[in-house]
Amino acid sequence: MTEAQPGGSTEEIAGSARRILDTALASSPRLGIALVIVAIGFAFQDSLENTLAGVLLLFRQPFRSGDQIEVDERSGTVEAITIRETRIKTFDGQLVLIPNRDVHKSVIRVQTHFELRRLEPDLHRDAVPAGAGDLMDGQHGS
């Protein structure tokens, strides 16, 4: 005894979809053209989104080649910005290609945007070399 599948087999579903599409095309060519355009839009969604993000990055220029940036926990020096991707050379010498849609949707930290930056050293007593702790406490030898 075979169990009936709740939604039907894949062939049955594909056949039903084909019949519906044929009926729609026969009754209204405009509807058929609209369905084709929607299908093409879904097929090229990632490519179009990536290209549009690349154009926006090139137009807005939030950073330039040579800037040091951080995007999605990846940091390095911008080598190039193209229509499809942003190329970053990491500080350890690797080349990272980040799709522009990811760059456009992410928080971008441009580390070299301003000439002057304030650096705050992170000094903890545990990280201080032996003997220097006395100097930090003001107990240096008199």
Condensed to tens digits (0 to 9), the pLDDT of residues 45-91 reads 788 888 889 888 888 889 999 999 999 889 999 999 998 999 999 99
Contacting residues for 51 by C-beta, under 8 A, at least 6 apart: 83, 84, 100
* Structural domain 46-110, CATH architecture: Roll (2.30)
Q: What pLDDT score was predicted for residue 31?
A: 75
Please tell me which residue, 2 or 98, carries the higher pLDDT value. 98
Contacting residues for 64 by C-beta, under 8 A, at least 6 apart: 78, 81
Q: What pLDDT score was predicted for residue 137?
A: 59
Q: What pLDDT score was predicted for residue 3?
A: 47
Q: What pLDDT score was predicted for residue 67?
A: 93
Domain ranges for the chain: 10-43, 46-110
Report the b/e string of 54-91 with b at 16+ CB within 10 A.
beebeeeeebeeebbbebeebebbbeebeeebbbbeee
Per-residue pLDDT reduced to its tens digit, 5-26? 455 577 777 777 777 777 767 7
Q: What pLDDT score was predicted for residue 5?
A: 47
Has residue 1 got a pLDDT over 60?
A: no
Please tell me which residue, 99 or 3, carries the higher pLDDT value. 99
Q: Could you tell me the CA-to-CA distances from 18 to 6, 7, 25, 38 in Å, in that order?
A: 20, 16, 10, 16
